[in-house]
């Protein structure tokens, strides 16, 4: 063998080994065969691929999934009490900073802290005021000023005492002048002329200031009570001759005021037909024990006697009568709107009552406390090290409605109702449409004529008048859940005609094709031909129209509930949450009550339409060629 042949053979062997090595150990780039890939790609994969190329479709899918998670997962995480109502917190604007004590405010500088429904005011020992929280009201002519706009004369004065109502503040300076600002629809911030004259003359000085949502008042040095506000309220709180000149301290509820007299007894002003009035223990009225301090929630009273024993009476609501066992010496007592707080000598704190707004959840890092300040649903404790501890209602992310209910929790649970009602109604209408459309298009003849005339009759029925009529006729005899089922049935039964006609039209084309003729020749039964052979060929059309129709059902439910004929309160839905938008005052001043649920309805309908359009384009080969 010649040298050239030997070299050539060796070279070929070497190249073969190199090629083998590359195939075994070096990753090879596969050449893409577009035609082969498209030929092997399943229809579902093609549809998904085309769908996810559509940016608007992806946006719609993301929005819709987000709304589903917000409503269905959120309703598991965020509970709701549909019967809950707290008019003290009505129409509070969005904000979660109720307990955000300024960092530069130290406990050793604080003389007193008083709170309204959504704000707090600290009186510092140097006579100045510090405020934090959320503005509880919007400034309206002849109704209110902003509570955070402290008057200049107050800023210039040396303040020695403060009191807060739900939406207003009172302040007393070292010269005996009383100032008021904030909500004043009932004259809560304006001292009557006769009281002002007595204070100016020096005959009476202010010993204590008190404020509630509807009224304001002072206890003077003459141990009498001076009150101002709406006439119907102030008349009910007038003191008797035996009480005047003996008042030491007040503690007020919604319709009653507990009065501590200088002889250590307690008397009650206000509504007599209440447990607050009638439930006072006899020993507290006849002087058998000496009461040294009192505190009051909206319907209950807590009293402390000279021996350190506690007494409570009033309504059985909110577990306020279930006083826990307290051991040790009591240092101070206080009350919020629906809870009691007791400070012990050792610096520990005992709480009980309602915990709907976290009023009882003490801070985990709280040490011994030397002072407590409790009002409405906000609680503050001054630690022995000068720290300020805060707990209670932090606020509402989306504000409250006219009944003081949290808009966020109602929006979450309302979304679950609205989305479910629309979905069930869609299933009902789709099933009816498929049955009617398939039967009409496949059998033709008299079956087609009868079913299409039935569709014409249903198309002529006006939707909203029928829904309103049925609601009036039988809605009152139904429970809330049954009313929701009624709405689902009405929406479904009156909404199938359009899809049925589309299915019929498509079926008229499909039934003439060869595969249907072959199925008949094989002896396959008629119902199987319709459901197993023809339906898959029109299913794309059904899916697209069902997706687009879902938005229509959402809007229909929202419209019915908005008009008061759908899901009714207190069960929330996005539609009935929009009912308040019929009031011009709500539109002008309380935007969060209509804008937020309105946006949820718009976004849910928009997302369903975007998904439907994207599916239509993804399933239509002609759209993909454009």
pTM score: 0.82
pLDDT at 4 over 70: no
Task: Summarize pLDDT for 239-250 with one digit per residue, the tens.
Answer: 888 899 999 999
User: To 10 degrees, what angle do helices 407-443 and 592-619 make?
Assistant: 30
For position 12, what pLDDT does the model report? Answer: 59
Q: What's the CA gap between 500 and 477, in Å, rounded?
A: 33
Number of other CB atoms surrounding residue 502 within 10 Å: 18
- Dihedral of CA atoms 616, 620, 625, 626 in degrees, nearest 10, equals -40
- Mean pLDDT of all residues in the chain? 87
For position 419, what pLDDT does the model report? Answer: 92
Q: What's the CA gap between 488 and 427, in Å, rounded?
A: 10
Mean pLDDT of 108-124: 96
Could you tell me the two tokens for 243? 């009480």
Number of other CB atoms surrounding residue 585 within 10 Å: 10
Task: Summarize pLDDT for 16-64 with one digit per residue, the tens.
Answer: 655 654 554 445 555 555 545 555 566 678 778 888 888 998 999 999 9
For position 258, what pLDDT does the model report? Answer: 95
Residue 9's SS3 state is: helix
Q: Are 492 and 426 in contact (CB under 8 A)?
A: yes
pLDDT tier, 133 (very low <50, low <70, confident <90, very high otherwise)? very high
For position 538, what pLDDT does the model report? Answer: 78
Task: Summarize pLDDT for 117-126 with one digit per residue, the tens.
Answer: 999 999 999 9
Buried b (16+ CB within 10 A) or exposed e, 111-149: ebbbbbbbbbbbbeeeeebbbbbbbbbeeeeeebbebbe
Task: Summarize pLDDT for 392-439 with one digit per residue, the tens.
Answer: 999 999 999 999 999 999 999 999 999 998 899 999 999 999 889 888
Mean pLDDT of 159-175: 95
Range of lowest pLDDT (17-26, 291-300, 567-576): 17-26
For position 359, what pLDDT does the model report? Answer: 94
Could you tell me the two tokens for 325? 């066992």
Q: Report how far apart the first and last C-alpha atoms of the chain are (Å, whole number).
A: 67
3-state helix/strand/coil string of 307-346: CCCEEEEECCHHHCCCCCCCCCCEEEEEECCCEEEEEECC
Domains of the chain: 48-81+406-625 (1.10.3720.10)
For position 25, what pLDDT does the model report? Answer: 47
Strand order in the sheet with 266-270: 247-252, 256-261, 266-270
Mean pLDDT of 448-466: 88
Task: Summarize pLDDT for 519-551 with one digit per residue, the tens.
Answer: 777 778 777 777 777 777 777 788 888 888 888
Whether the link from the prior residue into 270 is cis, omega within 30° of 0, is no
Mean pLDDT of 580-595: 86
Q: Are 360 and 352 in contact (CB under 8 A)?
A: yes
């Amino acid at each position: 063998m010649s040298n050239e042949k030997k070299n050539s053979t060796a070279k070929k062997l070497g190249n073969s080994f190199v090629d083998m090595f590359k195939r075994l150990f070096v990753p090879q780039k596969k050449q893409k065969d577009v035609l082969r890939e498209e030929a092997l790609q399943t229809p579902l994969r093609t549809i998904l691929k085309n769908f996810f190329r559509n940016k608007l479709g992806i946006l719609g899918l993301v929005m819709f999934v987000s709304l589903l998670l917000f409503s269905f997962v959120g309703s598991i995480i965020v509970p709701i009490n549909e019967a809950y109502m707290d008019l003290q917190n009505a129409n509070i604007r969005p904000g979660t900073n109720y307990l955000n004590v300024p960092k530069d405010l130290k406990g050793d500088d604080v003389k007193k802290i008083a709170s309204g429904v959504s704000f707090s005011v600290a009186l510092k020992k140097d006579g100045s005021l510090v405020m934090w929280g959320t503005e509880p009201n919007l400034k309206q002519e002849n109704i209110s000023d902003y509570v955070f706009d402290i008057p200049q004369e107050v800023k210039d004065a040396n303040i020695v005492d403060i009191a807060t109502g739900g939406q207003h503040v009172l302040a007393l300076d070292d010269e005996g002048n009383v100032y008021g600002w904030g909500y004043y629809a009932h004259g809560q911030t304006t001292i009557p002329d006769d009281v002002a004259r007595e204070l100016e003359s020096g005959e009476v000085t202010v010993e204590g200031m008190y404020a509630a949502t509807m009224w304001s008042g002072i206890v003077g040095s003459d141990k009498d009570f001076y009150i101002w506000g709406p006439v119907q309220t102030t008349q009910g709180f007038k003191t008797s001759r035996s009480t005047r000149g003996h008042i030491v301290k007040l503690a007020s509820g919604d319709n009653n005021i507990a009065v501590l007299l200088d002889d250590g007894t307690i008397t009650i002003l206000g509504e007599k037909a209440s447990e607050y009035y009638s439930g006072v223990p006899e020993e507290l009225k006849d002087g058998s024990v000496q009461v040294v301090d009192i505190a009051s929630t909206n319907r209950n009273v807590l009293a402390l006697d000279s021996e350190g024993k506690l007494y409570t009476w009033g309504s059985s609501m909110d577990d306020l009568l279930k006083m826990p066992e307290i051991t040790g010496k009591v240092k101070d007592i206080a009350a919020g709107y629906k809870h009691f707080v007791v400070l012990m000598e050792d610096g520990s704190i005992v709480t009980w009552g309602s915990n709907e707004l976290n009023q009882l959840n003490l801070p985990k890092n709280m040490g011994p406390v030397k002072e407590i300040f409790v009002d409405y649903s906000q609680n503050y404790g001054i630690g022995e090290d000068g720290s300020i501890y805060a707990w209670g209602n932090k606020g509402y992310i989306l504000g409250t409605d006219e009944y003081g209910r949290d808009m966020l929790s109602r929006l979450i649970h309302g979304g679950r109702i609205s989305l479910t009602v629309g979905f069930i109604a869609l299933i009902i209408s789709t099933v009816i449409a498929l049955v009617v459309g398939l039967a009409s298009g496949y059998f033709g003849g008299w079956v087609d004529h009868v079913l299409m005339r039935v569709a014409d009759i249903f198309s002529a029925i006006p939707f909203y008048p029928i829904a309103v009529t049925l609601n009036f006729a039988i809605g009152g005899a139904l429970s809330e859940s049954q009313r929701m089922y009624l709405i689902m049935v009405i929406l479904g039964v009156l909404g199938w005609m359009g899809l049925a006609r589309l299915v019929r039209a498509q079926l008229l084309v499909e039934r003439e094709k060869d595969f249907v003729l072959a199925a008949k020749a094989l002896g396959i039964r008629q119902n199987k031909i319709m459901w197993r052979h023809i339906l898959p060929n029109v299913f794309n059309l059904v899916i697209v129209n069902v997706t687009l129709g879902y938005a229509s059902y959402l809007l229909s439910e929202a419209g019915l509930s908005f008009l008061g004929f759908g899901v009714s309160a207190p069960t929330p839905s996005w539609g009935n949450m929009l009912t308040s938008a019929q009031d011009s005052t709500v539109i002008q001043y309380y935007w969060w009550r209509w804008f937020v649920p309105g946006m949820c309805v718009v976004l849910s309908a928009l997302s369903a339409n975007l998904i439907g359009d994207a599916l239509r384009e993804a399933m239509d080969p002609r759209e993909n060629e454009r």
